[in-house]
Amino acid sequence: MLPWTLRSAARRLASATRAAAAASASAAARSPAPATRQDSSLLDHREEPWRGSPVREDVFWPDEQRLSTLRRQHRTKASRDHSGLTRQLLDFQHDTVNEPDGDYDPLGQLKARFMDFKQRNYVENSTKYQNLAEQQTPEFMVVACADSRVCPTSILGLQPGDAFTVRNIANLVPPYEHGASETTAALEFAVNTLKVPNVLVVGHSRCGGIQALMSMKNKKDDSSSRSFIRDWVSLGKSARLSTEAAAGNLNFESQCRHCEKESINSSLLNLLTYPWIEERVKEGTLNLHAGYYNFVDCTFEKWTLVYRPGLEGGSKYAIKNRSTWS
């Protein structure tokens, strides 16, 4: 908002300008002579405040209604923009376009891989893919990291239809009270609609998200700048605090390695904060698993969470079936 002195001056200027404009209009009404080019330009100025006169207060101090209108117009324009792009795709249909040779095409390799997939997988297993086109019944719901080096489909040999998958920074599962996110929506659909029997949280070595988490201080730092990464990884704060308590005497790399697994276990416990997940786990129709992929030496460690809600005294949680694939 402008300082009060500037607002006052602007109002006075606006008032004086309106008075001058009214006087000019009155004089023009008394005179039968046609408007000159200069008179016409003055009239234009009254309709275009950015050209100098008069000063409009609503330009400097838009009220909430005006701001709401501007936001609505922006959303409408954005809607028209993506609708226009979709219309172009529909008009294009299945026509082919000769792709230029010589220049680097980042999608060229993807095209070759897709054509290979179509011939080797889709065509040779057409019945399977036709069935998948009708419905999916995946065995797993996988929560994995978005890191390009950690592709659960490749490292675990998952095929289309095997796993309903969501990937995010640091493979975090927010607690139920966190609210809606792409991860919570995927969990709800996989557990309640697809009825998957297994949820697998996959973490990995040298995770940049965990490094960002471990670099955070107890007090707020760099709060002047917004960081989506910091806001997201802060969901793993309890894993960081546990790591500092258990491995605070180790170097930073070792602390991060400890926190990578601590964070996976934290996500497993967060899964149980969802009422419909806890209910199915207690019924024995849903199992919660963890995996840790070390891409430095290509090993995979896995374990399963045991939940004993009726246990009195001692922990309700335990680990079973731990093993390392190497």
pLDDT tens-digit series, residues 228-255: 999 999 999 999 999 999 999 999 999 9
User: Residue 11 has what pLDDT?
Assistant: 53
For 288, residues 6+ apart whose C-beta sits below 8 A from its C-beta are: 198, 199, 201, 268, 271, 272, 277, 281, 304, 305, 307
pLDDT at 12 over 80: no
Model confidence, pTM: 0.70
Mean pLDDT along residues 152-178: 97
Q: What is the mean pLDDT of the chain?
A: 81
User: Residue 14 has what pLDDT?
Assistant: 56
How far apart are the C-alpha atoms of 247 and 254, rounded to whole Å?
A: 8
pLDDT above 90: percentage of residues in the chain: 61
pLDDT tens-digit series, residues 187-233: 999 999 999 999 999 999 999 999 999 998 644 555 556 789 999 99
Contact 170, 229 (CB under 8 A): no
